[in-house]
Amino acid sequence: MIALVQRVRSARVEVAGAVVGAIGPGLLVLVCAEPTDTPAQAARLVDKLLKLRVFADAAGKMNLSLRDIAGELLLVSQFTLAADTSSGNRPSYTGAAPAALGRELYDEVLRLARAAHPRVQAGVFGADMQVHLVNDGPVTLPLRV
């Protein structure tokens, strides 16, 4: 699975002009499943997200996790993270999981995150979404599990 993690002061997702998920300080995570991904990788991703030390401690060092700061998590499906731009000018998305598998794995990430953390919001799989965020730092990290 591929994830793009952004430390945010706030973020929200809108579908058709309606807010479907919004958070305060925490992590906005764009999530992409690849064809060979499994539920075990979804579990590893959630574990990594909750333990990733990207928030400042009292000394100003990135040493605290989402759990440590009681932060919020916003998960958004994003198949374009699997884009191949190595040839030509039009990206290829053959590296992304088929829609059914992508939905299954995104739903698993969401289920596991909600079971492990009290403040989880989400976008809508496959929807045309507008994502608004205030990136904190900025801190943006690519992950592959």
| Average pLDDT by stretches of 10, the chain with 145 residues | 98 98 98 98 98 97 97 97 94 96 98 98 97 97 96
Per the CB < 8 A criterion, the answer to whether 132 and 23 are in contact is no
Q: Is residue 68 part of a domain?
A: yes
Q: Is residue 145 part of a domain?
A: no
Q: Is residue 142 part of a domain?
A: no
Domain count, the chain: 1
Q: Is residue 30 part of a domain?
A: yes
pLDDT reported for residue 40: 98
Cβ contacts of 42 within 8 Å, gap of 6 or more? 1, 105, 108, 109, 112
Give the Cβ contact number of residue 90 at 10 Å: 7
Residues with a catalytic annotation lie at: 78-80
pLDDT reported for residue 140: 97
Per the CB < 8 A criterion, the answer to whether 63 and 53 are in contact is yes
Separation of alpha carbons 63 and 91, rounded Å: 36
CATH code of the domain covering residue 57:
3.50.80.10
Is the bond leading into 138 cis (omega within 30 degrees of zero)? yes
Domain range for residue 114? 2-137
Which pTM was predicted?
0.96
Per the CB < 8 A criterion, the answer to whether 29 and 73 are in contact is yes
pLDDT reported for residue 7: 98
Q: Is residue 54 part of a domain?
A: yes
Separation of alpha carbons 130 and 112, rounded Å: 24
pLDDT reported for residue 114: 98
